[in-house]
Amino acid sequence: MAKKITINGFTYAYETIGQGTPLILLHGFTGSKETWRPFFDLWKDAYQVIAIDLPGHGQTDHPDALHRYRMESVCRDLDALINTLQLPSVNLLGYSMGGRVALSFTCLYPDRVKKLVLESSSPGLEQRSDREKRMANDERLAQMIEEKGIAFFVNYWENIPLFRTQKTLPFHLRQRLREERLAQHPRGLANSLRGMGTGVQPSWWGQLHNISIPVQLIVGERDGKFCEIAQRMKNILPNANYLEVKGAGHAIHVEKGEIFGKIVMDFLKIEEGTY
């Protein structure tokens, strides 16, 4: 059952289940804590699973103020949330946008994180021209959401090349994804793009060499762009493992859920010396 907590005047929705070392789960753009529900039963016996709705998504606040969506602000809230829940150091798992949050948090609050799992994620963009191009594209998408509405945007979003591999998923999985996307608030999604998109967030490429904790990089074989990004990250991170899932695209947790769940469990257990 969802709980709510007010952090720095901002209300976050989250759900927690299980016992053990905290495992915080961060969803992707247009997602929510519901993204991770299929894995609760698998992970709850070994970990205290905490799934959070990020700003502008799910049941978390979706204000007009863009500064509340900034990556640094979200990470500051996450640190305060960890304090409020009286958690020790945590494991972090993030998918796509949530992976960017998880990596940003690790760079800003390195003593908080024991292990990091990044699914189809990036450290941001290095070149100013690339950042400006991405910000302009995100602004166009934000305006589409505001002017055309959520249903129009979801129809567009489902058909971008990044998600082409999801076309062959069973109907019930495609429907679950669609319902999760349609449940979003238009202002929340638009401001999420403007406030914490890949173009506007800090680039962490120059700090990867400082991350000494174990990192598991997970990408789908059919997601070429993110395979290249993860391979480059692997070469910089001091303690990283790269795993490419055969037959999967961007959302491995959806397309190859059973394999994904086992990868996460195996990585966390290996690093604890219990597997």
Sequence-separated (6 or more) residues with CB below 8 Å from residue 80: 7, 8
Q: Please calculate the CA angle 11-17-21 and round it to the nearest 5 degrees.
A: 100
Tell whether the torsion through CA atoms of 148, 255, 260 and 33 is positive or negative: positive
The CA distance from 198 to 71, in Å, is: 10
Q: Structure pTM?
A: 0.96
Q: What is the pLDDT of residues 189-208, one digit of tens each?
A: 999 999 999 999 999 999 99
Bridge partners (DSSP) of residue 116 are 92, 215
pLDDT in tens, the chain (275 residues): 789 999 989 999 999 999 999 999 999 999 999 999 999 999 999 999 999 999 999 999 999 999 999 999 999 999 999 999 999 889 999 999 999 999 999 999 999 999 999 999 999 999 999 999 999 999 999 999 999 999 999 999 999 999 999 999 999 999 999 999 999 999 999 999 999 999 999 999 999 999 999 999 999 999 999 999 999 999 999 999 999 999 999 999 999 999 999 999 999 998 554 43
CA 4 to mean position of chain CA atoms: 19
Q: How many residues would you count in the chain? A: 275
